[in-house]
Amino acid sequence: MRTGRSRLIALGAALLLVGGCSSGAMEDPAASATTSPSAAPTTTAAPTTTSPPTPAVANQLPGMPTVADARNVYGSAGAGMLSAAAAAAVPMVYVPHNSGEVWEIDPSTFQVVRKFPAGQEVQHVVPSWDMTTLYATDDVGNTITPIDPLTGEPGDRIPVVDPYNMYSTPDGSSAISVAEARRTLVFYDPHTWVEQSRLEIPDCAGIDHADFTPDGRTAVFSCEFAGRVAVVDVPSRTLLRMIDMPTRNTHMGPQDVKLAPDGSRFYIADSDQGGLWVLDGAATQVIGQIPTAAGAHGLYLSRDATQLYVTNRHAGSVSVLDADTGAPITTWPIAGSSSPDMGGVTADGTQLWLSGRYDDEVYVMSTVDGHMIARIPVGHGPHGLCVWPQPGRYSLGHTGITR
């Protein structure tokens, strides 16, 4: 919708067993374990021996870059691991506004250095698969505006059907317009912007956000106004199944989606639920629930992929979880009126930038202890903020999902 932190291994604090799951399904031990609220979390020292190499993910989507380490699909997007295209970009933070403008902020000075119109209601700034172009998506005006990351200059608008959000298939062969109002995924050639095909998902009201399995063959899309997710087969571009959340929130229900680094589960933020649902890694069933706070919305990984940041838009806070298990680590409150929404982590991993959706500002927070570095006034309705450049070999879209 429109501090020192030792890594917690207490899985019971991470996930609450969901009674609405199918009784015939295998139970995930990490999802079902519980602990007393008063029990102190346990920690485990790092092993003194080196683990054997993890084999690459099998049966990958042809054409996508190889996942060399199944323990961390984000292993090629660590601090400073910039591709040649990303390294050439001028460091900039792009802030799209529902007012129709994109503002550019210099991350070294926190000053707004450029503003330009990009449509009627701009929702997100999305990196292309090859990281050579950024696109400002205007779902009301049915256009995307290309931005040259080498200069920050916008180009001519390109007609695209209802681009509320945009993703790329993991092999880079298609850009996907997430046409929220039409309950449709529209596939385009990412170079010519000629339409390739459409997948209508009529039972997915409010189709919004997505992520992909490690092999790139399956995508999970959230359905905000239907309280469910849609699971899509990427090679055939067909709907595999719909999965209802145990509580079907349909006002501001399922929001952002994020694959755990080890590929074992998907996290699905649910604003009305005030937390995350946990889907198994094969995207077949809900296996758990993680409470955070009111308005759980955006999901972002630390640069080393050990922590997951959850923006709680209505509570005005950011929850920090263990990225693999979902175990709670800490909460970073934001003083005063605040509405942390979308954004990303800087290339060096030291800062988390977020739009303040209802407060017309941008927050810059330290990833060391969550303290506020800067609050920057911006225009009306800042939304899918993009921090650029980002490490990684390729982009899956949104505000910068890179692997």
> Is residue 117 pLDDT above 60, yes or no?
yes
Q: Output the pTM of the full model.
A: 0.88
> Is residue 6 pLDDT above 80, yes or no?
no
Q: What is the pLDDT of residue 34?
A: 32
> Is residue 53 pLDDT above 70, yes or no?
no
Q: What is the pLDDT of residue 41?
A: 34
> Is residue 226 pLDDT above 50, yes or no?
yes
Higher pLDDT, 42 or 387: 387
Which of the listed CATH numbers 2.60.40.10, 3.40.50.1000, 2.130.10.10, 1.10.10.60 matches domain 73-388?
Answer: 2.130.10.10
Q: How confident is the model at residue 68 (pLDDT cuts 50, 70, 90)?
A: confident
> Is residue 16 pLDDT above 80, yes or no?
no
> Quick one: three-class SS letters along the chain?
CCCCCCCECCHHHCCECCCCCCCCCCCCHHHHCCCCCCCCCCECCCCCCCCCCCCCCCCCCCCCCCCCCCCCCCCCCCCCCECHHHHCCCCEEEEEECCCEEEEEECCCCEEEEEEECCCCEEEEEECCCCCCEEEEECCCCEEEEEECCCCEECCCEECCCCCEEEECCCCCCEEEEEHHHCEEEEECCCCCCEEEEEECCCCCCEEEEEECCCCCEEEEEECCCCEEEEEECCCCEEEEEEECCCCCCCCCEEEEEECCCCCEEEEEECCCCEEEEEECCCCCEEEEEECCCCEEEEEECCCCCEEEEEECCCCEEEEEECCCCCEEEEEECCCCCCEEEEEECCCCCEEEEEECCCCEEEEEECCCCCEEEEEECCCCECECEEECCCECCECECCCCEC
pLDDT tens figures, 132-180: 999 999 999 999 999 999 999 999 999 999 999 999 999 999 999 999 9
Q: What is the pLDDT of residue 279?
A: 98
Q: What is the pLDDT of residue 56?
A: 81
Q: What is the pLDDT of residue 256?
A: 98
> Is residue 38 pLDDT above 70, yes or no?
no
Q: What is the pLDDT of residue 37?
A: 30
